[in-house]
A and B are shown apart, each in its own frame.
Chain A
């Protein structure tokens, strides 16, 4: 018997087949989908950056500090009062929604767990996440603004209503990640439950909670609909959180977008760039925190 000849490598190579072709076609379709979404999203960012940057740099730093022209067809800066308004409204909403949301999540995960009331609250939190922002705006208008007038605080209330369920949801997820052994160790040392939660559980979950809250803040800062009803319209600085009409970047973009004056449209692009950068920076910090949290675990 002669020794076997060299292996026929050609026969082992994958044969071109319609099955392989179909798979390649599917992969091509996926790449096409990536391109299809990349184009419009990048186009939006590109428009905002290219049209906004000129507006901002032409009058730097007045664009960020000057008051908004009362006559909207007049050229020139600024968005100062809107930037202050956005910070006031978003900051106010954060101060209301984050502590309450964290406390609510503490109840759900540390106390209520699977009790009927906790399940009801969890269910309603999901429901609340889906409430359209304009409905929240109308609700705050009817219950707050009609009685106390326009103010940044009304806007903060509306945004807080939108943020609350998001903060509860993300915080509960983070509390779930805290190992039970940490709690057990604290209890073994004779620590009371509330003290365990405040000094052991919360610090352990803190980066995750902060990151979840920052994402909620980034979303809230861009909201327009709830502010339309609650904060009124202003063109001058109003540092008072609780009184008088105010304005915000998102409201200014909405108002100027439909203007037929190029000057107003320019200001809208500048405001859009400012708002987008603000949201990106907050998101960026949140992601960094998440990454660190993941590393520590």
Chain B
């Protein structure tokens, strides 16, 4: 809109300064494309040796043995998905419950401090959660270092994020729709099911997907509590396991050439996985936001 205004039709030195500023701004914006492009190129280039050697076995083989130059990433792929699934199973019902409580039930005096507290907890560094997981949760609650411990820690970590997104989506429910439901004699729960949930369904799915992306990409907390077992593919939640980012963080220090290439290939796979999840999430959120804006 501002572009249609006559701001850009000056002549003389002012016009040069104007163009220079515009150029700098374009450059800064283009930096995003440059960095992403470089990440893709550099990482793909470094991952090539191991992918050339292992081929598709890299993703389907269970054997990860750096001394024998055997790199099968399937257990780590499994560990990433499994811990993320546990995290979601814990976090989603809790997040939705809290978001509903904050937006539909809580009185005003309680609402503000709760939002404030949740926002504050969202900035607790992940390494602090990891520290608590390894020295308190895994030791004093008999969980050990396992898929379950990692899933719980990740679940706790992503709950403030999902809650705050879910809350924002629920907040956009038009008051008229809620009042209409109540005026027809609906109870609060019936009002939520008839007005709030249908209205915010898309946004909620998106919020959960963003939480999923977070849980899969989280390195440090997972690296501390997952147990770093090699080659474990088991649904037993108490078994120690490993996940893609945790392997990278734990093994990078001692890795030699081919091993490093394998770890970078893991990072590429993780990169693609989280990007796909995030893109689906963003698309869902934006579509539902656009729809709700059109409605109200």
Q: Are B32 and A26 in contact (CB under 8 A)?
A: no
Distance to closest chain A CB from B285 (angstroms): 10
Q: Are B38 and A143 in contact (CB under 8 A)?
A: yes
Q: Are A275 and B128 in contact (CB under 8 A)?
A: yes
B97 part of interface (Cβ distance < 8 Å): yes
From known contacts A254-B220, A275-B125, infer whether A100 and B31 are also in contact, taking CB-CB under 8 Å. Answer: yes
Q: Are A192 and B26 in contact (CB under 8 A)?
A: no
Q: Are A279 and B249 in contact (CB under 8 A)?
A: no
0/1 interface trace, chain A 1-23, chain B, CB 8 Å (1 if under) = 00000000000000000011011
Stretch at the interface among B15-23, B49-57, B66-74, B81-89: B15-23
How many positions in chain B have a CB within 8 Å of any CB in the partner chain?
Answer: 93
Count of inter-chain pairs, beta carbons less than 8 A: 288
B175 part of interface (Cβ distance < 8 Å): no
0/1 interface trace, chain B 140-152, chain A, CB 8 Å (1 if under) = 0000000000001
Tell me the interface secondary structure of chain A in the complex: helix
Stretch at the interface among B183-191, B230-238, B288-296: B183-191
A24 to B127, CA, bound (A): 39
Q: Are B188 and A26 in contact (CB under 8 A)?
A: yes
Closest 10 CB pairs of A and B: A222-B125, A33-B97, A132-B217, A130-B278, A103-B28, A23-B187, A194-B21, A107-B25, A23-B189, A193-B7
B residues within 8 Å of A by Cβ?
Answer: 1-3, 5-8, 10, 14-15, 17-18, 20-22, 24-33, 35-36, 38-39, 42-43, 46, 93-98, 100-101, 105, 114, 116, 119-121, 123-132, 134-136, 152, 156, 159-160, 163, 187-190, 192, 210, 213, 216-220, 223-224, 245, 248-249, 252, 263-264, 267, 270-271, 274-275, 277-279, 282
Q: 12 new A-B pairs (CB below 8 Å) besides A127-B275, A192-B8, A283-B120?
A: A26-B192, A33-B97, A41-B159, A100-B28, A111-B3, A126-B282, A131-B217, A194-B22, A222-B124, A254-B130, A257-B134, A272-B128
